[in-house]
Chains A and B, each alone.
Chain A
């Protein structure tokens, strides 16, 4: 799995790029939805790296730790440590829990990996963290757009990325063309645990929309 390679953008980094402008770094998505999506992406990274999977207990999807091997990355390691310490929580609880902090954590990790510039204070207004290289930042979205245009499902990791972009409600705004049927078909290609991760992300996003706060 490519997830072992720390210098390259990971799934959460890709999602961050897709839901932000590739030059200015301006958000395309409401912070609450973005955070829930990124929480899903970080858990997705651990699934792709085969550290955790979903235990499909009827009526409740739980995270299940496959191996406690170090991930070599502080952010995913922190997430893994939490799950190891309290394995009994359902996936939606984890999504809510990690969503509280994941946005800042992902930004910090991307700054450390030199994918983003640190946010600058400009005329007293804090500017968003802008990508270091606009082409790198545009690449994940371009891959998705290309796959959609050709109606050819992308690689597994990009299928997860696509699913998460749709789940957060960012698809109509970020993608050049949004084809709900193709999105569903693409997600259906994934292993069941990853499918459920995307579905549960969509559930918490829907609940966030309905919630009055």
Chain B
């Protein structure tokens, strides 16, 4: 055995040519996080809705928490199948019933994150259309166009091509940095203030709401381990790409969130965003560097939102597909489009939900940015926090049951610290959920939305128990994803 393995293998080297290196994985990971979308969309909205000026510090703090979380996460990824899905960790760490509950939470969270994006695309595109044609349709018309494109590309299985994605991503980051420099060169009369990095400016009333939005900016980072099977060296490529991705996102977002406050001063940012919403950073850029730079930024804002939408659409559709293959969802969701190799049923379901959401918001004339993009984003962020917490606990339990020679730091200490920090964040988010929703503190809706997750968890546990009792062969394969049909054997 060892003799044959030492010889260079024609098979392994042929397959290795197809594999991904660290830069490719980082590109995939950050592109789902869509830098310009977060900097131009999420950050100003977070300032506006929460009134918290400590957003820059929040990004750094969350980066640290995510890095802590990633320690256990990437370690367990080496030991489990279907590593890309949170519920696989729960299923293989805590138990299959808990895995089903986690899967439900994941479906809700990813769905919310994707659907919320339909709220931002309108305000991203409107200023451009006004500038070019002098008129723009209502937001929901633009959202419907984006919806149709996303649905179609999802069915055709057009993942935005790696090369296009890289070009877009590099230009986005370049534009964000140029905007930042412009902001920094034009400080408010009071001078450059570092108030945003002061932890004291984050931990004020509304902190939980700010955190939930900021979390959504990190969504996508967890997808790095999906590439474990496709990376050159799963022990090195994936951890490195994950930490690198987290560091890039945390630092870039933090600096950009801070830079936005420099021209207005920390005291003026909330008022400025309330007036200009997502146009703020483009107006700032136009004032500092001319309209050409600002227009390039606006165009990239649109492409960034689209790319993000497609990425989340496909992530969710694949999640649904994997659950269909396990028969946890009806097996029709495990069907493929033969011609395009797309997870067809999941994609169609996702598209149908998008249409419903756009219609409801258009009919009731609700504000797409604060009520759709922000609310759904924060709701998804809350779900993501829950998933991260459950995953951290799963890591600890998994390694307690399956000793593997990994260090105590990776299997116990880091995941425990991450779980603790994440639980605290969930608590703070729940306390401030009225601010997130912009409702009275005693409005029932603030408990109904987080309650949806509780209901999903209960239903998941019930469904898991039903499967255990009535279809043990399905129950045995929970958490294995596409490998469920093979019983997990390679």
Contact = CB atoms under 8 A, between A and B. Distances in A.
Contacts of A82: 10-11
A104 to B, nearest CB: 15
Contacts of B340: 30
A210 B486 contact: no
A59 B335 contact: no
B490 interface: yes
Interface residues of B, number: 44
Interface stretch (A128-136, A145-153, A168-176): A168-176
A90 B490 contact: yes
Nearest to B322: A210
A207 interface: yes
A212 B338 contact: no
Contact of A61 (B4, B227, B335, B490): B490
Contacts of B322: 206, 210
B482 A29 contact: no
Interface of A is mostly: helix
B267 interface: no
B400 to A, nearest CB: 22
Interface stretch (A45-53, A92-100, A107-115): A92-100
B473 to A, nearest CB: 12
Interface string B12-54: 0011001000000000100000000000000000000000000
Interface stretch (A1-9, A66-74, A119-127, A196-204): A196-204
A82 B14 CA distance: 12
Contacts of A202: 485-486
Interface size class of A (residues with CB under 8 A): 35 or more
B341 A33 contact: yes
A97 B489 contact: no
Contact of A60 (B9, B14, B334, B489): B489
| A29, A91, A213 pick with most chain B CB within 10 angstroms | A213
Interface string B329-344: 0010011111111110
Nearest to B482: A206
A25 to B, nearest CB: 15
Nearest to B342: A209
B325 interface: yes
B163 to A, nearest CB: 12
Chain B interface SS verdict (over half) = helix
Contact of A213 (B5, B159, B331, B488): B159
Contact of A33 (B1, B18, B338): B338
A199 B10 CA distance: 25
A137 B84 CA distance: 41
B119 interface: no
Given A206-B325, A213-B162, A58 B489 contact: yes
A207 B340 CA distance: 14
Interface in B469-490: 481-483, 485-490
Interface in B329-366: 331, 334-343
Contacts of A96: 15
Interface in A73-92: 82, 85-92
Given A28-B339, A207-B229, A210-B321, A85 B10 contact: yes
A67 B486 CA distance: 27
Given A97-B15, A172-B338, A212 B314 contact: yes
A96 B11 CA distance: 10
Contact of A168 (B11, B230, B338, B485): B338
A46 B311 CA distance: 40
A93 B11 CA distance: 8
B412 interface: no
Contacts of B483: 203, 206-207
Interface of A: 27-30, 32-33, 58-61, 82, 85-94, 96-97, 100, 168-170, 172-174, 180, 196, 199-200, 202-203, 205-213
Given A94-B11, A100-B15, 12 more contacts: A28-B338, A86-B10, A88-B4, A88-B5, A172-B335, A196-B486, A203-B482, A206-B322, A209-B318, A210-B321, A210-B322, A210-B482
24 contacts: A29-B339, A30-B337, A32-B341, A33-B336, A60-B490, A61-B486, A61-B489, A86-B4, A86-B9, A90-B490, A91-B490, A94-B11, A168-B338, A173-B338, A173-B339, A199-B486, A199-B487, A202-B485, A205-B336, A207-B482, A212-B159, A212-B226, A212-B227, A212-B314
